[in-house]
Amino acid sequence: MNKTHFGYESVDEQDKARRVRGVFDSVASKYDVMNDLMSGGLHRAWKAYTVLVANLKPGDKALDIAGGTGDLALAFAKKVGPTGQVVHTDINEAMLSTGRDRLINQGVLLPTVICDAEALPFPEGHFDLVSVAFGLRNMTHKDQALREMNRVLRPGGKLLVLEFSRVAKPLQSLYDWYSFKVLPKMGSMVAGDADSYRYLAESIRMHPGQEELKGLMKDCGFGHVDYHNMTAGVAALHVGIKC
């Protein structure tokens, strides 16, 4: 049986999805609060920049993968207007339900689909934009997921991958201290779950760095790939254009 990583732990591939699901089932209700606390609110600026780079126009079609509590889906819906389409998806039902309820409370009703990014249930060339924010690192076969994202994009369409990445070297020791000492304690106090936030820190370290992810996206069919470091590389936005 093939192995993969769950944080620093080696697990069977088929077991990873179940364990990742358990993490997000546990934190769904506190996800937004914890995002604000652990990033000092910076995740909002990162997402705002992502929306700016998306440059969606009225009538465009966008797919938000691992859309969770709906931050990007809501922002995209405002850009594409009533003639466009935004599909809000996640593999985790608890996260998707939390996001759907939040969107409805904002007066926005979007197609909401539970789906696996490695086998997207959408036709080839359907979307102008595909986004995945803080979700790619949790996927077992990142290459397969990226190929699926490429498949459902129209030629010239854009993929945006917003993800935690490699910080600048002078900040590494401070970032490690925060990630492995402070973050789990914060998760325990606020969400009642230290282990899930310990996994979060480990999963960031196991995720491909900026240049490695750029190369992987090119290998998966994107003709032009660039990335933008944010907050000294704590997060990076990768932009891929389909040939």
> 166-218 pLDDT, tens per residue?
999 999 999 999 999 998 998 898 778 888 889 889 999 999 999 999 999 99
Q: Tell me the β-bridge partners of 112.
A: 88
User: In terms of DSSP bridges, do strands 61-65 and 85-90 run parallel, antiparallel, or are they unpaired?
Assistant: parallel
Packing angle of the helix pair 13-27, 183-191 (nearest 10 deg):
60
Known binding residues for S-adenosyl-L-methionine? 69, 90, 116-117
Per DSSP, the residues of 70-122 read -HHHHHHHHHH-TTSEEEEEES-HHHHHHHHHHHHHTT----EEE--GGG--S
pLDDT, one tens digit for every residue, the chain (243 residues): 688 887 788 878 878 878 877 777 777 777 777 788 778 899 999 999 999 999 999 999 999 999 999 999 999 999 999 999 999 999 999 999 999 999 999 999 999 999 999 999 999 999 999 999 999 999 999 999 999 999 999 999 999 999 999 999 999 999 999 999 998 998 898 778 888 889 889 999 999 999 999 999 999 999 999 999 999 999 999 999 999
pTM: 0.93
Query: Please, what are the domains in the chain?
Result: 3-242 (3.40.50.150)
Q: How far is CA 224 from CA 47, 67, 75, in A?
A: 22, 24, 25
Known binding residues? 69, 90, 116-117
pLDDT for the residue 1: 62
